[in-house]
A = this chain, B = another copy of it.
Amino acid sequence: MPDAEESAHGPSRRAVLGVGAAAAGAAVVAGTTGFAVGRATAAESLTLNAYEFRGDHQSGIVTPQQDRLHFAAFDLTTTSRDDVIALLKDWTEAAERLMAGSELGDGAVGGAYQAPPDDTGEALGLPPSGLTITFGFGPTLFSKDGVDRFGLAARRPDQLADLPHFAGDMLDEAFVGGDLCIQACADDPQVAVHAIRNLSRIAFGTASIRWAQLGFGRTSSTTTAQVTPRNLMGFKDGTRNLRAEQSAEIDKFVWAEGGDGQSWIAGGSYLVARRIRIRVEVWDRTSLQEQEASIGRTKGSGAPLSGGNEFTEPDFSRAGGNGDPLIPVDSHVALAHPDQNDGQQMLRRGYNFTDGADHLGRLNAGLFFLAYVRDPRTQFVPVQEQLSKSDLLTLEYLQTTGSALFAVPAGIGPGEYVGQALFS
């Protein structure tokens, strides 16, 4: 190695960032993390948020929803409980470093020269970008094909009941289930991809990716400061989503209790993941009137068809000139509204996706629905059963191709590993 290169083999990601700053001839000081980063455009310099991995709850649930997603479901390839624990310990350590924007291990460029780098390196020089990493446990972790591989069968909460088949589901086994899951959200997709790649690499020999999904645009907001985004049907999505600031509702609808002896899940949540393909070409040939009638809101402002603005409460009783309700009874808004669902709410955290084009030249695009709930049996299943049978939108324009459910353990304190309460 030439002398001049020596310095490249030791620095932390922070140090490498310094190099970047010098190269760019410009530095921006990050408020939350305190290090300097040089980036070509101002847009790139504003992804400096770093969140804490440890806390009462896992990050990535009520955290302000980032713009990009890489989600992966894993199958365990081991039958050893100790292997699983070791993996969760390794993942915990890695997640903490990744979220801080640090390199893994001795660093991508700081490890032994004769060994593979500990970090794959593509996030070197990138700020933390608001990365959150959220871990979940699928039903098959507890029992798979009737086999209790890891001595966890008795620890499965009732809430983690397998999702029923919903009318119209056209599930592709390539997007169903998983023993474990990782949700990586960030404001830079390269940072999210880097996280999943390196966590997958750490799992080598213990778990492998079963399926994965990238999302490029959020379809809900988790804080009141966020503007409601649009889904690929072109409508605002998530207007009525729960927000982090609604602490009473978050406690009531999101955080799991530890009843029935399953104290390990207290402070955690349940994550429903559904890959919903939109029949884009059909939708795009539908009149504005029918689109709005299917949703129950206007396309422009997102206001309910009963009037007002985006945040006006829908008035399901208000009738138009012909005596019919202005918001059709089979519209998505009507059927999904808490008033029609025993007051139930969910914390949604979905993303738009486009996975290229299919062999017919149609965009393979849709909504990767993610929702955190306290109990899927009462909050997700009844609503989805109603939608799958009656919802104009679901029946005509959507096709659910993937589905999975995970128990998301609570956050952890210093020295603990994610999911430790389940294994102790």
* Chain A interface residues toward B at CB < 8 A: 1-5, 7-9, 11, 16, 19-20, 23-24, 38-44, 46-47, 64, 67-68, 70, 72, 75, 108-109, 111-117, 119-125, 174, 187-190, 193, 197, 200-201, 204, 208-214, 216-217, 221, 223, 225-228, 230-235, 280-281, 284-289, 291, 298-301, 303, 305-312, 318, 320, 326, 352, 354-357, 359-363, 365
Q: In the complex, are the beta carbons of A11 and B300 less than 8 A apart?
A: yes
* A311 CB contacts on chain B under 8 angstroms: 23
Contacting A326 at CB < 8 Å: which of B2, B64, B231?
Answer: B2
* A67 CB contacts on chain B under 8 angstroms: 44
Q: In the complex, are the beta carbons of B230 and A124 less than 8 A apart?
A: yes
* A38 CB contacts on chain B under 8 angstroms: 227
Q: How many copies does the complex hold?
A: 2
The distance from the CB of A392 to the nearest CB of chain B, in whole angstroms, is 16
User: Given A230-B122, A300-B11, A214 and B117 touching (CB < 8 A)?
Assistant: no
Contacting A116 at CB < 8 Å: which of B16, B24, B284, B354?
Answer: B284
Q: In the complex, are the beta carbons of A299 and B108 less than 8 A apart?
A: yes
* A326 CB contacts on chain B under 8 angstroms: 1-2
Residue of B nearest to A115 (CB): B287
Separation of A64 and B189 alpha carbons in the complex (Å): 19
* A39 CB contacts on chain B under 8 angstroms: 227
Separation of A307 and B280 alpha carbons in the complex (Å): 53
The distance from the CB of A5 to the nearest CB of chain B, in whole angstroms, is 5
* A354 CB contacts on chain B under 8 angstroms: 70, 193, 214
Q: In the complex, are the beta carbons of A356 and B355 less than 8 A apart?
A: yes
User: Given A109-B298, A190-B352, A361-B210, A305 and B1 touching (CB < 8 A)?
Assistant: yes
Separation of A190 and B67 alpha carbons in the complex (Å): 10
Separation of A210 and B299 alpha carbons in the complex (Å): 30
* A289 CB contacts on chain B under 8 angstroms: 113-114
Separation of A212 and B108 alpha carbons in the complex (Å): 32
Q: In the complex, are the beta carbons of A363 and B209 less than 8 A apart?
A: yes
* A284 CB contacts on chain B under 8 angstroms: 116, 120, 201
Q: In the complex, are the beta carbons of B114 and A234 less than 8 A apart?
A: no
* A112 CB contacts on chain B under 8 angstroms: 288
Q: In the complex, are the beta carbons of B116 and A285 less than 8 A apart?
A: yes
User: Given A20-B227, A356-B211, A286 and B116 touching (CB < 8 A)?
Assistant: yes
19 contacts between A and B (CB under 8 A): A2-B326, A4-B309, A5-B303, A7-B300, A16-B300, A19-B301, A23-B228, A41-B226, A43-B43, A70-B354, A108-B300, A113-B287, A115-B287, A120-B233, A120-B284, A124-B299, A193-B232, A201-B284, A214-B216
Q: In the complex, are the beta carbons of A124 and B234 less than 8 A apart?
A: yes
Separation of A188 and B305 alpha carbons in the complex (Å): 30
The distance from the CB of A252 to the nearest CB of chain B, in whole angstroms, is 25
Q: In the complex, are the beta carbons of A109 and B8 less than 8 A apart?
A: no
* A285 CB contacts on chain B under 8 angstroms: 116
